[in-house]
Structure 1
């Protein structure tokens, strides 16, 4: 072999393998920005893979309609939407025992990986209020959301049955552990909608998750149902005195999933393993207040690198928060999607 040929062969053998192109789908906004900084950028740097990030509305229908055409690989999903997508064959089944050690699987909380998804963070649907609207006694419990006598003013609520039905039953005195069982009955649904009737005239509806915090800022509402990270961001960056009531919080789980495809890239599994390491979860929670889904990550979370805010105090699944809490039953959500929407639309139509 000529020396030139030998040098070329050595160079080729030493060259890195071609990097996989990976399309990750998330939610946009401050949430995606935190993901890019804490999870996606470190993975791209360490693996050499080319990463593209797309944005969607979080629904399994968007995955069905857009995923194949746009080449989606890894999708950030709500746990209930992932269950529906998995049942419809839209997601790849994941062998969690091949991705994680037995110790790592035991580390997940409050739920572990399932057939098509791996838990990545915990968020909460919470009640928040404009501190300026209540100079004296402040709201402290979910019953106050339905008390328009002591706490008058518009309530911002998502135009959806999600979350508000659970709150209605809590406000009626139903213990958290019985809420989803009761909502599985006609009696429970009637009780929830009857409670919702008591504030019908005080509701202002929202559709975009950014709206409830904006409504509090602009004075369009004095109380709002929304997501803890949005209220935190407005309070920190909007210089608005927004307070969160942790009582009645509904803790939901975000998961990572892989789009079903015969040629799903190995990089997709590599990314999920990286993204659900305790260190990755801790970096993410230090930037935006969505809690880790591994116990070992909590002690790693310190100050926000940009603001210096101690972030553990703002995590929805932080152990120091008092009051009642529900972990969203993703199986109930997946199995009652059509029923909930139908009953909710009937209730809305009765308003007109």
Structure 2
């Protein structure tokens, strides 16, 4: 079965590569649409370079498979922070010279304009996004959920819960819901007792969980009434509300946020144009365009201005971003170091827990 999955990952994109000069792999749904509108279309128009966006549930998996097989068909990939660092360490990504990135409009070098942690050896942050939870307001006409603990309280707020089917962010949320301060989460999670505590908290709602794997599934589960609350990527919920007028509400308490990175796979067939695309998309103007399509925070200081509006020209984006001060009162930044070190073992533990009765 694993061989079949890897083969699919390798062959899914070969047709796209044959038809386009630059192939970008991202996460699909409203996020992929935002990147298409903010980066792909204007880049192709400005430079006359045909560019194609393709989707994956998690681009790290097919990119790793392609590079290891020496059959790379993707030029740019959108990767989670820990994946970008780990894959760089494994030699799967091209190094990026940050001094060659576009300066801010006032001439400030990119190395000074990007927020702390937004530049790595092989990756450049495109946005800061968050794992949050959201609920359908029509399901709770009285008291509303307001804390991360409420997500786990099925007596006070009955109904099914949607949860991402992997340990990252899920274990952190469980500990915060169990009373662990955000500042102590990774210290606790690094101990056997803390890990047991996180799974014990998840046990309390295990029978009520509906699992999702692709980001677009979370708002769909809410829309279809399969769950009354779900963990989700904050931008997916925002777009469901802003574009589709869904009655969903984000709870920012206990959010887990991190940088998303653009990276160039080792052996990318159009590496020079890929770097041109990366530089263009992570410019101040590029990041502002993206934030006008989805509520993920730009990773450059020069892009964070009060006049930032959603593409409807009316909705203010700053209050809807993970990094907005009002949304950061009980927030946790994902520890890249922790997940680079523990991803494999915790995934094995998580899968074993899933399989257990």
2:35 is the counterpart of 1:29: no
2:193 is the counterpart of 1:187: yes
Q: Secondary structure of the equivalent of 2:71?
A: helix
Q: Provide Cα deviations, 1:150-190, integer angstroms capped at 9, x if missing partner.
A: 11111111222121210111122212121112212211101
Q: Which residue of 2 aligns with 1:71?
A: 73
Q: Which residue of 2 aligns with 1:43?
A: 43
Q: Work out whether residues 286 and 301 of structure 1, in 8 Å CA contact, stay in contact via their aligned partners in 2.
A: no
Closer, same or farther in 2 for the Cα pair 1:23/1:205, shift >3 Å? closer
Q: Work out whether residues 283 and 301 of structure 1, in 8 Å CA contact, stay in contact via their aligned partners in 2.
A: no
Consecutive unaligned residues in structure 1, runs of 5 or more: 1-19
- Segment drifting more, 200-209 vs 301-310: 301-310
Runs of 4+ with deviation above 6 angstroms: none
Q: Find the aligned partners of 2:182 and 2:116 in 1 and give their Cα distance.
A: 16
Q: Work out whether residues 285 and 301 of structure 1, in 8 Å CA contact, stay in contact via their aligned partners in 2.
A: no
2:320 is the counterpart of 1:314: yes
TM-score (structure 1 length as normaliser): 0.88
- Segment drifting more, 326-335 vs 66-75: 66-75
Map 1:1-352 to 2 at 5 A: 21-66=21-66, 68-99=70-101, 103-261=109-267, 265-299=271-305, 301-306=307-312, 308-351=314-357
Q: Provide Cα deviations, 1:100-143, integer angstroms capped at 9, x if missing partner.
A: 66742122224231111111111111011111121111111101
Aligned length in residues: 332
Displacement of 1:288: 1.1
Displacement of 1:273: 1.6
Displacement of 1:239: 3.1
Displacement of 1:37: 1.8
Q: CA RMSD in A?
A: 2.1
Displacement of 1:70: 4.9
Q: Work out whether residues 282 and 300 of structure 1, in 8 Å CA contact, stay in contact via their aligned partners in 2.
A: no
Q: Work out whether residues 59 and 81 of structure 1, in 8 Å CA contact, stay in contact via their aligned partners in 2.
A: no
Consecutive unaligned residues in structure 2, runs of 5 or more: 1-19
TM-score (structure 2 length as normaliser): 0.86
